[in-house]
Amino acid sequence: MIHPLRQWFHLAILIPLLCCFQAFAQTPTESTGQVESLKESVLTLNRDLLILEEELLYPASSQVAVYVSMDLGTYFALDAIKLEIDNKLVASELYTDKQTKALFRGGVQRLYLGNLKTGEHEISAFFTGRGPQQDYKRGAKIVITKDQEPVVLELRIVDSSAQLQPVFEIKQWQM
Amino acid sequence: MRKSTSVLRYFLMLAAVVVISVDAKEKPKTSVADLRYGVALYHYYQQDYIAALAELMVADTRDGIQGHGDNPELIAGGVSLAFGMQHHAEAVFNQILQDERRPQSVRDAAWFYLGKLHYTRGDWVAAEQSFARVSSEFKPSLRAQMQALKINIRIRNKNYADLALNNIDAGELRAWSPYTFYNLGAAHARDGNFASAQKFFSELAEIDVVENPQRRKEQWALQDKAYTAIGYSYLAEKKYAAAIREFTKVRLDGVFANQALLGYGWAAVAQEEYDEALRPWQLLRSRSLMYPAVQESLLALPYAYEKLGAQGEAVNAYQAAEELLAREIQLIRDMRATLTEGELLTLIGSEPLSAEEAKKVLRPEAAQDGALTAVVTDDGQNWLKLDSTSIIKTRSVYLNELFAKNAFQTAVLDLRDLLRLQILLQNWLPKLDAYRELLLQKQGNRERQEQQLAQHSASQQEQKLQAERAAIARQLEQISSSENYMALADDETRALYVRIERGQQTIVRMKAAGQDTSELETRAKMFGGILLWRAAQEYPARLAAQQTELKAIDASLAQIAKTRQHIEEITATSMDIQPTLARLQVLQKDVSMHLENTDQLIAQQSGLLRQQVDRQLAAHEKRLNNYLAQAHLAVARLYDAELRRQPE
């Protein structure tokens, strides 16, 4: 006697088992098209809003932007950065694994965007983190003269292969 | 077994590959030519696709990204894919391909990704055409993936009969060879060619397991799946001993163990070895009732008892099955009632967890504690990914099958992206209000300043000048009409003339007193005449100088009037603030309109998702009801048989 469930069961087991690993196709639905179209227009709107916001809050004549990058970063695991302008703390960041991995892979973080009056200013950055042999707490400083052009600075964490340790520097970009 | 087979996940893998091929993961960058490119990468690597695209779009609107060659375009294509914008990505890749001067490596990458786009849409012809344009110099790891996809297209087109193990280059397929063998084996099995299927499955089972722990786990699962599939194909061919041999190769702690145990039992039953069937089925009965194979064993086990003549045990087992199935059906009904659109939205909109965190949350012990049993992960693919025990309220297995489907994954991703867009737009609204206030305040301040300027400075100066002008004009009029030369004479002449006039008055008084003043009178007259003559000589030049001064005052007054008019114009139009305010107003309207559209689409998508979930649960409920009916019938049948056996 063959149990009636048996044939049914074989089919039920075989169908999922014999599905391909790579799904063959995704039939585009109406809603998928609607969602993609909405994404495009929201992203365009977002772009326009960002441009307006920057013009409004950080006009080029007073703008100062500070970025963080890591070149290799094998001698330094970044924990935190503090940024001061004229001895006043303007930005600080505690880095997650995700953020440091993104920096390690070549990403650049925009740490600070603000405004500065024309004239001379001192920008200081303080880096804390761990190296293969020791913990680090280092600073870097630069004095800049702000004119009508925006100021763009890059806080760079660079491996010094000669010294086998990290080097921290601030680079001013010519705009 | 691979964790997810969805097409969209596949897309995100693709996007990751785009980036990796551009900026090799193993070799971190050594320079950044444009910081904005780096910022886009920074967001992309954290799966923050909206921010990454925003950075690229803002850069594009300005002067573009300099110094990174074709990479920004490839990145834009890759990030667009990651964010589910296939049409946009397609346009980017087509644009790259239109330029014949692009390096071959870039063209190869663009053709490859374009081919994959066509593949995922099911446009096999276009996919094959795109793949055919990829050169032999293309990166071997991606080429391996492309070969696997080309074989899949042949399977889809039922054009795989000539693909045999001896003419497939497993070396070229690299890490994709196990999946390709499985797909070919499954295709043959679906067509009833079990012998060919078994060859591919066996080849897969014999592949050396790799050292990488994660890959090893996947490969073990894949091999388990292959053994299980071979077992069932033998079962279909009535080769029961061979089926049992394959089923026993499946790991007992793997995800295919339940199916293998059940198959083992059926193979034993088919050989009428009912005792042999009891062992795997009893083991299966001790496992969680969430799994379909375990539910099936509720009926299979008493069936074996029946065949062994143990009617009492069979009745007991059927009755236990009735009770368990009824409880399970009630649990599914509860799930259907509680798994609302709102709950799905909360789940999909919740903070994504890393793979490790998700694993912790989804472990069976946590589920028993009443912890969440479904999560959104962000382990690089950003897919709603659930393991075998991970669905809501510990009833997860019922939804596993649904969650693995493309349609469901697509709907979940669309919904997740819509929720992100909703947050983005919602965040802009208060900011735009604040910016509007800021601009209005700025405008007000400017107006006040301008008014103050006009009132206190320009206006006072104007009044003073006008008074001065009126006085000079009056004086000149009098002097001119009376020919009063002395009025315009220098100070010394006027002072001397005053003294002469005083002297003449003295002479009048002396004369009245009877003194002789004839000489004095003559001298005074002479000196007075001299002074008048001197004043008359200078009069025309001095009159002209006065008139020039008057003209200068008129010119100053005209300038003040012009300035005042200019200020009034600025006040009226607020030259730079008004256009910005107008722009802001347009954007505010756009944000509100897009937010409304987003809300509508979210409601629509969550409704569709809820329907899919409910349909899936309803199907499980129906299947369990079917089991329950079978159990009822079996109990009735056994009691009936027992009654018939009893002497009347």
Least confident segment among A105-109, B12-16, B215-219: B12-16
pLDDT at B11 over 60: no
CA B508, CA B525: separation in Å to the nearest integer? 13
> In the block, which residue shows the tokens 């609204």?
B429
pLDDT at B380 over 80: no
pLDDT of A132: 81
Query: Is the separation of the CB atoms in B302 and B282 below 8 Å?
Result: no
pLDDT of B352: 67
pLDDT of A20: 54
| Contact state of B410 with A29 under an 8 Å Cβ cutoff | yes
| Contact state of B45 with A34 under an 8 Å Cβ cutoff | no
CA B17, CA B270: separation in Å to the nearest integer? 49
pLDDT at B26 over 50: no
| Contact state of B189 with A14 under an 8 Å Cβ cutoff | yes
Within 8 A of A101 by CB-CB distance, chain B residues are 45
pLDDT of B364: 57
Q: Confirm or reject contact between A60 and chain B (CB < 8 A).
A: no
pLDDT of B370: 36
Least confident segment among B10-19, B72-81, B131-140, B567-576: B10-19
What pLDDT, in 10s, does the model give residues B225-259?
A: 888 988 988 888 899 999 999 999 999 988 889 99
Per the domain annotation, does B520 fall within a domain?
yes
Where are the domains positioned within chain A? Answer: 31-58, 61-173
Q: Which of A77-86, B121-130, B218-227, B635-644 has the highest mean pLDDT?
A: A77-86
Arithmetic mean of pLDDT over chain B: 81
Q: What angle do CA B136, B25, B150 make, to 5 degrees?
A: 35
Q: What are phi and psi of B541, to 5 degrees?
A: -65, -40
CA B76, CA B64: separation in Å to the nearest integer? 12
| Contact state of A47 with B262 under an 8 Å Cβ cutoff | no
Q: What is the mean pLDDT of residues B214-235?
A: 84
Q: Which of A87-91, B90-94, B153-157, B550-554 has the highest mean pLDDT?
A: A87-91
Within 8 A of A95 by CB-CB distance, chain B residues are none
For chains A and B, count residue pairs whose Cβ atoms are closer than 8 Å.
224
Tell me the CB-side half-sphere exposure of residue B180, using CA atoms within 13 A.
Answer: 26
CA B322, CA B334: separation in Å to the nearest integer? 18
User: Quick one: which of A102, A27, A92 has its CA closest to A66?
Assistant: A92
Q: Which of A18-27, B8-17, B68-77, B539-548 has the highest mean pLDDT?
A: B539-548
Residue B153 tokens, joined? 């297209």
Cβ–Cβ contacts within 10 Å for residue B191, how many? 14
Per the domain annotation, does B112 fall within a domain?
no
Q: Confirm or reject contact between A134 and chain B (CB < 8 A).
A: no
Per the domain annotation, does B537 fall within a domain?
yes
Rg (CA), chain A: 26
Per the domain annotation, does B197 fall within a domain?
no
Least confident segment among B102-106, B366-370, B546-550: B366-370
pLDDT at B458 over 80: no
CA A119, CA A135: separation in Å to the nearest integer? 36
> In the block, which residue shows the tokens 């991970």?
B390
| Contact state of A49 with B591 under an 8 Å Cβ cutoff | yes
Residue of A nearest to B40 (CA): A107
- Per-position DSSP letters for A103-132, written without gaps between them: HHTT--EEEEEEE--SEEEEEEEEEEEE-S
Q: Which of A48-52, B63-67, B182-186 has the highest mean pLDDT?
A: A48-52
Residues of A (12-31) whose Cβ lies below 8 Å from B:
12-14, 16-29, 31
Arithmetic mean of pLDDT over chain A: 84
Residue B117 tokens, joined? 């786009």
Q: Which of B5, B122, B187 minimises the CB distance to A22?
A: B5
Which amino acid type is present at position B343?
Answer: E
Mutate to test the interface with B, among A6, A11, A26 (most CBs of B within 10 A): A26
pLDDT of B21: 41
Q: What is the mean pLDDT of residues B131-140?
A: 92
pLDDT of B511: 87
CA B307, CA B301: separation in Å to the nearest integer? 10
pLDDT of B1: 32
| Contact state of A154 with B35 under an 8 Å Cβ cutoff | yes
Per the domain annotation, does B125 fall within a domain?
no
pLDDT at A2 over 60: no
Within 8 A of B57 by CB-CB distance, chain A residues are 43-44, 46-47
Which amino acid type is present at position A163?
Answer: Q
Mutate to test the interface with B, among A49, A96, A155 (most CBs of B within 10 A): A49
Per the domain annotation, does B454 fall within a domain?
yes
Within 8 A of A160 by CB-CB distance, chain B residues are none
pLDDT of B342: 87
Mutate to test the interface with A, among B258, B269, B421 (most CBs of A within 10 A): B421
- Per-position DSSP letters for B561-624, written without gaps between them: HHHHHHHHHHHHH-TTHHHHHHHHHHHHHHHHHHHHHHHHHHHHHHHHHHHHHHHHHHHHHHHH
Using 50, 70 and 90 to split pLDDT, how confident is the model at B285? confident
pLDDT of B247: 93
pLDDT at B377 over 60: no
Query: Is the separation of the CB atoms in A108 and B35 below 8 Å?
Result: yes
What pLDDT, in 10s, does the model give residues B145-158?
A: 899 999 999 999 99
Using 50, 70 and 90 to split pLDDT, how confident is the model at B406? low
User: Quick one: which of B305, B312, B282 has its CA closest to B294?
Assistant: B282
| Contact state of A154 with B401 under an 8 Å Cβ cutoff | no
What pLDDT, in 10s, does the model give residues A105-162?
A: 889 999 999 999 989 999 999 999 988 888 889 999 999 999 988 999 999 998 887 7
Pairing of strands A63-71, A151-160: parallel
A42–chain B nearest CA distance, Å: 7
The count of structural domains within chain B is 1
For B567, the domain range is: 429-575
Per the domain annotation, does B530 fall within a domain?
yes
pLDDT of B575: 54
Within 8 A of A49 by CB-CB distance, chain B residues are 428, 432, 587, 591
B617–chain A nearest CA distance, Å: 16
What pLDDT, in 10s, does the model give residues B63-97?
A: 777 666 667 788 888 888 888 888 888 998 898 89
Q: Which of B37, B401, B597 minimises the CB distance to A16?
A: B401
Portion of chain B with pLDDT greater than 90, in percent? 30
What pLDDT, in 10s, does the model give residues B587-639?
A: 999 999 999 999 999 999 999 888 888 998 898 899 899 999 999 999 999 99
Per the domain annotation, does B438 fall within a domain?
yes
A61-173, CATH topology level = Immunoglobulin-like (2.60.40)
Q: Confirm or reject contact between A55 and chain B (CB < 8 A).
A: yes
Q: What is the mean pLDDT of residues B361-387?
A: 45
Query: Is the separation of the CB atoms in B531 and B504 below 8 Å?
Result: no
